[in-house]
Structure 1
Amino acid sequence: MKGDRVEIVVDAGDTTRTYEVVAGRAGRRVETAVRRGVVEVSEVTRSGTVVRTARFMANRVPALVEQPVPREDGRELSGRTGRPLRDVPES
């Protein structure tokens, strides 16, 4: 959803650098994947087309922070569908 963002902290030797990938337009989302030692963070449209991608070596990424935008009704939304997560009664 617009406003979702992911912060990537990368070890750059003597310091760390922070990068952000933000879903900048309505209907876009940010997806994260770790494959074959590479962390890949992509901004994706509703139809699944990748707009832009950031790639980092996984052994250089000490932190990956996903920050979803707060929803109006205060409920969390599930992954790709955007439907609210069901409330599970406590037993």
Structure 2
Amino acid sequence: MATPKTQLPYTAVRHPKCGGWWTGQTRAHCPVCCRTFSCDSAADKHRVGRHGIDRRCIDPAEAGLVAVDKPYGALWQNPGGNQWFKNADEETAA
């Protein structure tokens, strides 16, 4: 993770609340728990409850997500064996 004396990549996006940063146009960063996710669908998995009533964050691992180490910290993503990531060739071979 970058410190105040190191320069961030020019593509970095920084969240003002937590100071966290990440790169990548498809990333999602939760403004409540300040965790970074590979995409919106992964971020949505860690939010449970009814909107406006009891919506809250749960541990991304509890939601079935896996952490990948990146220069900016943990990036939570769907596991590689997830059905969303299988291509047609893998499905017909199974």
Structure with more relative contact order (C-alpha pairs < 8 Å, separation 6 or more)? 1
Larger strand fraction of residues: 1
Structure 1 length normalisation: TM-score? 0.25
Structure 2 length normalisation: TM-score? 0.24
